[in-house]
Structure 1
Amino acid sequence: MLASDKSYVTTDDEFYNELLKAPLEFEDCLIPDQCPNELKAHEHLTQCLHRRYGSYPAVYMGSLKDAVKEAFSPKEITERRPLMIFINNDKSVYANIFCKQLLCNEKTVEYLMSNYILWAWDLTHESNEKKLNDNCKNAFLSWSTEKQFQASKTDQYPSLFAVYRETDGSYAFHYFVKGPSEQVTLVDFLRSLSDFKEKFTNYEQELHKAREETKQKEIAYLLLSRDNHRRFRHDQDRDFRRAFSMAHDADKEAYLNVKYPRSAQPLSHDGRMTSNPLFAGRNPSAEEIMHAFEQFERDSDDADDEDDDRTPTVLHPKPKFP
């Protein structure tokens, strides 16, 4: 038989025979023992999948944290794709069957290409266990010790699950396969992938809605706080004007001397006190002082309005809540 006619589909017996015949420098595992980084690991993983099964799904080349960003970063919800994580262990009796019949099936490969982002790892060698758990800790803040993967528990592999977000923004996980106890047919497997893709979009829409509602509540709270602050200042000014208008002239003059002492008034070139042009050099009455005070407040408010309407600049940017 010609080399070009060789079939890439292997039986379980052939698969384990390959493991026994593999040279020491190149053991037929998806990821080599003590692999130094994700890039080399995934390059080796895809090469092994191709050699074993011919067709295989596209695998994200990089860290799990970067894969999470790739899945959830698009602004448009319809452009986001759920992140699927595949954990293999060749010591599991279901590993080869799962890959051959489900994961590397041409229909699955085609569907995953446009609907999911796949990140993969292999725990055949226990030395790669820590690297996997470190990736999970860096990618998911909620990752706990109870969720850590253990290479020795072969009955939990292969493991295939997808990542989605709750309405509070935390990550959650939906399992499709977790060991040989959950074997499914290809039709059911593809249906479960399609159903979850729809749920994933709904989850993202609910998260967006929850964040928008929270944002609107925060804006409303800030506006209410601003209005309450202005109302409080207005009440203070009104009470002061009322009390000031009811005070005796001597008390008003004493207050003004404390508030604006004559020593703080500007001097003319000959050292004499300059008169206030507002009152034409004479002592104002209480009514004139109150009128000037009210006029000053109106002028200040007008100036504030002008500041609000002026063209924003670097030194005077547009207020966040006009």
Structure 2
Amino acid sequence: MRCCKIFRLLDSGSTPADDMFLQTITDHHAASSSPPSSSSSSSSSAFCPVLPSRHIVERQPRMLNFHIEYRTRSVEVVLEEASTVGEIKQILETELHVPVSKMQLKGWKSGDVSDSVSLQMAQGWRCAGGMSRLLPPPSPTRRAGQESLNQNYLLIISHREAQREYSLNFPATRTIQEVKRNISDLTNIPVRHQQWDGWPASASDDSMTLSSSGISYPCHHLTVCRRSSPAATLEPSEECTDVHMVSDSEGDDFEDASEFGVDESEIFGMGSSSCRKSPMMPENSENEGDALLHFTGEFSSRYGDCHPVFFIGSLEAASQEAFFGKARDRKLLAIYLHNDDSVLSNVFCSQMMCAESIVSYLSQNFITWAWDVTKEANKARLLTMCTRHFGSVVAQTIRTYKTDQFPLLLIVMGKRTSNEVLNVIQGNTTVDELMMRLMGAMEIFTSQQQEDIRDEDEREAREMVKREQDEAYRLSLEADRKKREAQEREEAEQVRQERIRKEQEEEREAIRLSLEQALPPEPKEEEGEPVSKLRIRTPSGEFLERRFLGSCKLQVLFDFVASKGYPSDEFKLLTTFPRRNITQLDPAWTLLEAKLFPQETLFLEAKE
């Protein structure tokens, strides 16, 4: 005997109840083995041909015996290993009336194979074991299911031994194997020791996603317990029977356990939650910001990038950001406390903290700050910070929680006098329950926030009125000051102008007096020298009369007029007829030379 193999065949119109298995019963040599007997009542000898006798050579062709179960029928086919997959399909088409185009083979050692591939290549006989199935092409119903991969399934899983029930939300793309690993974290039952009830018959492969497994939507009930026999490492299946394969080839030990749904870490007694490359937070980190950067990076590497935005900074800075802004900008503070030693941490992080609805709600309404309390030093540091910012009661409350109750999510609301912890959410919760508790905290916070907004608006209104009054008073004082300063400047200018005017008058008076004193005496008419009598009309209509010697210079006449208050730089002296401007003549001329003899009438006119 060489090996044995199982296949399952479905046509496009079949249901999970119509599964057909194909099993390789024996491996023949033409000269040494007889054809295998059929174990099914519907087996046909036409499909177990008698091999023609031939001379024995060094290596006889190896014969493969396939046992096919389809709905209620069984068929056996014996072919040489050099035959192709297409030849099996042609035989099955003749016997089962299933078109080759409707057949889909699944479970070959080398994966999906074409019809031209030989059975030797398709089977990969050097492998120690495996399972193969023939499945139909996807039906329209299955394609519709694939289009609904964005759905979430609620799995209600009962743990028999613990008498406990878990309600877990999973995306449609989550595989059965991942669900079992998460349950392993919750129940401490390794995947290989889990005994399940409730999976549909179509969920025969742990690599299948929930959307393609055939479970009920949106809710499905399952039961899990520990296997009674620890030696059983494979899960039973209603549709597929595992057949142990034996080979006389070298190195045919159990090489590929992954084909049987057994994780390598489970073979050595390790759960997936124990594979930690590094702690979430380094111990005794001097800077809280650096510690939280490390926490965020490790969280992303473990659970993906879809997670809440953790505040990078101290707890005091996070409190300032959440509580001490304007009332409209304030938020709740969510403090996530992680503990790697808790069996709930992996599921809580992957299923709760990374759920898109939770991530979106926390990002919009909360400032999220995180800390790792796995190490005692980090836990002591957290308790010190909580005592400082929230009081000893909160620190004592955290201290009372046991390791298996972690992770914790503390919801803190800031008040006028102190900060209040509204809620402490433990790790043994569901997405729906977590969302409800977050929304409940938001309702309390929103009510308090609206009151704070009203108080703040009233306070700002009062302050606005006061500022407006202060501004009006300031503007009034400023106007009075400017008016007073303008009046003072005007008065000062008047004083200055008056002083200048007086100085100018005094200067003119001094010049007038000096000119008057410098004038030669007025000659008498009976003197022998020629005397000129001049009559001068002023701009005011008055007349100035004086006698001058004919030999007097015009400058003496100009000085006389200036001594009367009419300086030559402001007034011009004119004759009546012919009209002449005497001030333009040479001051050194005599009156005789200027033809102002023996008498003349002149008038003064202001210069332009």
TM range (shorter): 0.5 to 0.7
Tell me, yes or no, if the aligned pair for 1:82 and 1:163 is still in contact at 8 Å: yes
Query: How far, CA to CA, are the matches of 1:18 and 1:203 in structure 2?
Result: 44
SS of the residue 1:74 aligns to: coil
Distance, in Å, in 1 between the alignment partners of 2:320 and 2:289 is 17
Instruction: Report how far residue 149 of structure 1 moved.
Output: 3.5
Deviation digits for residues 22-79 of structure 1, max 9, x if unmatched?
Answer: 4xxx53x22122233212211121122212211211000000110011011221x232
> Residue 110 of structure 1: CA displacement?
1.8
* 2-structure distance, mates of 1:206, 1:96: 39
Structure number with higher relative contact order (C-alpha < 8 Å, ≥ 6 residues apart): 1
3-state DSSP class of the match of 2:417?
coil
- Measured in 1, the distance between the counterparts of 2:417 and 2:393 equals 17
* 1:106 has 2:356 as partner: yes
Please list, as runs of the form range in 1=range in 2, the aligned pairs for 1:117-136 lying within 5 A after superposition: 117-136=367-386
Report if aligned partners of 2:408, 2:426 keep a CA contact under 8 Å in 1.
Answer: yes
Shift of 1:21: 4.7
Closer, same or farther in 2 for the Cα pair 1:115/1:33, shift >3 Å? same
The answer on 1:172 being equivalent to 2:423 is: no
Matches within 5 A, 1:297-312: 310=477
**In 2: Cα distance, 1:91 partner to 1:214 partner:** 50
Which residue, out of 318, 321, 325, partners 1:74?
325
Match of 2:333 in 1: 83
TM-score normalized by structure 2?
0.30
**Residues 1-322 of structure 1 aligned to structure 2 (within 5 Å):** 11=182, 12=185, 17=271, 20-22=274-276, 27=278, 29-54=279-304, 55-75=306-326, 77-140=327-390, 142-144=391-393, 147=396, 149-150=398-399, 153-166=402-415, 169-180=417-428, 183=429, 185-207=430-452, 310=477
Distance in 2 (CA, whole Å) between partners of 1:41 and 1:35 is 6
Distance between the aligned counterparts of 1:154 and 1:120, measured in 2? 17
Partners of 2:412 and 2:420 within 8 A in 1:
yes
1:164, 1:171 within 8 Å by CA — same for their partners in 2? yes
Aligned residues: 208
Name the stretch that deviates more: 121-130 or 187-196. 187-196
The answer on whether the counterparts of 1:165 and 1:204 sit within 8 Å (CA) in structure 2 is no
Deviations 1:95-150 (A, max 9, x none): 1121111111122112211211100111111111122122223333x344763644
Partner SS, residue 35 of structure 1: coil
Greater share of strand residues, 1 or 2?
2
Which residue number corresponds to residue 74 of structure 2? none
In structure 1, give the amino acid aligned to 2:437.
S
Larger Rg: 2
* SS of match in other structure, 1:84: strand
> Which letter does structure 2 place at the counterpart of 1:113?
S
Distance in 2 of aligned mates of 1:311 and 1:170: 44
Change (3 A) 1:90 1:20: closer
What is the TM-score of this pair, normalised by structure 1?
0.54
Quote how far apart the aligned CAs of 1:93 are. 2.1
Unaligned 5+ segments in structure 1 are 1-6, 217-305, 313-322
Alignment check: 8 A CA contact 1:83 1:117 kept: yes
Does the Cα contact within 8 Å between 1:87 and 1:122 map onto a contact in 2?
yes
Moved over 4 A (4+): 13-22, 207-216, 309-312
Task: Give 1:222's aligned residue.
Answer: none
SS at match of 1:177: strand
Structure 2 contact 334–368 (Cα < 8 Å) conserved: yes
Letter paired with 2:425: V
- Partners in 2 of 1:50 and 1:179 — Cα distance? 19
Alignment check: 8 A CA contact 1:129 1:149 kept:
no
Shift of 1:176: 4.5
> Which residue identity lines up with residue 187 of structure 1 in the other structure?
D
Task: Give the direction of change, closer, same or farther, for the CA distance of 1:311–1:210 in structure 2 (3 Å limit).
Answer: same
Give 1 or 2: higher helix fraction. 1
